[in-house]
Amino acid sequence: MSTMQLRQLGHSTLEIFPWSFGTNVLGRAIDEPTAFAVLDAYVEAGGNCIDTADVYSTGESEAVLGRWIKTRGNRNRVIIATKLGHSMGPGKQGLSRKYIFEAVEASLQRLQTDYIDLYQAHRDDPETPLEETLRAFDELVRQGKIRVIGASNYSATRLAEALQVSQQHGYARYESLQPLYNLIDRKAYEQELEPFCRKHGLGVITYSSLASGFLTGKYQQGKELPKSHRALRVQSRYMNDRGFRILAEVERVASRHHATPAQVALAWIISRPGITAPIASATSVEQVRELRGAVELKLDDEAIASLDKTSAWQN
């Protein structure tokens, strides 16, 4: 893998593979031996950025990842991106200085490492002043426990306020945003966040890049749904006329490019200006190999134009 395939994260020194592996499945959807196998396959395929959060399986995702890193002895080969802020129990949430220092130590222990490459606010905390949050993050960067900080689920207005606070006080700034973004969910990101991130040089690592699996094509009209909360969420959010129209176009493009719908959906995100990497999970080695194909898939102008038009939110 040449360094040309890596993408800079904001103004930081982190260089990220164009597909980030999502570990929300660890400790929940797959057992530990399978988790180790898919993580091995991701790294063998050239991947280097692994996304997790303290709240995923209430810490077990980080713990599985930590055991894998210790077993493989590959800490210097991977970029660990984790998050804090969602509730981990009574009194364990938010972005106060006290809780940030508590949460980072807990994540470091579970991950079995002494530093986190990308530490992200999982969501905004309007009850804590941004100056307090960013000062705490800055202290951790200076201590060497964090390399870079990022934000997830922030509005453009709050991102602007945060960057202003960092500049005013000389604190480390948010270098990345992790927004909800896929071919169906475009408006919230493209309307305000995309131009803001491009203007200020923030990296963008998208989550729900496959629309909770809907864009893989496994949810079809007239077919019985899996018995899961995720399937119910997909049904209520994506299984409608617009969703199936977009999926049909993804499948048409996939057929023309001899690719899978998942590869097309990820390749479209990768091709967007300002995108660092989409996050996508895999539960098998075969899925890892499939998703890796999205990095090599080059959609032609006709394919991108047709996907843009079919999924346009301005209509």
Sign of the Cα pseudo-torsion (105, 49, 66, 74, in order):
negative
**Number of neighbouring beta carbons within 10 Å of residue 139:** 16
Q: For residue 56, indicate whether it is catalytic.
A: yes
- Rounded Cα gap, residues 93 and 279, in angstroms: 24
DSSP state of 178: E
Q: Cβ-count burial of 4 within 10 angstroms (0-12 exposed, 13-18 middle, 19+ buried)? A: exposed
- Quickly list DSSP for 17-29: -SSEEE-TTBTTT
Structure tokens at 259: 């690719």
Task: Report the interhelical angle of 261-271 vs 241-256 (nearest 10°).
Answer: 90
Which residue of the set 56, 189, 207, 238 is catalytic?
56
Burial 237-269 (b: 16+ CB within 10 A, else e): ebbeeebeebbebbebbbeebebbbbbbbbbbb
Beta carbons of 133 and 95 less than 8 angstroms apart: yes
- Rounded Cα gap, residues 151 and 4, in angstroms: 26
- Rounded Cα gap, residues 95 and 128, in angstroms: 6
Beta carbons of 10 and 201 less than 8 angstroms apart: yes
Known catalytic residues are 56
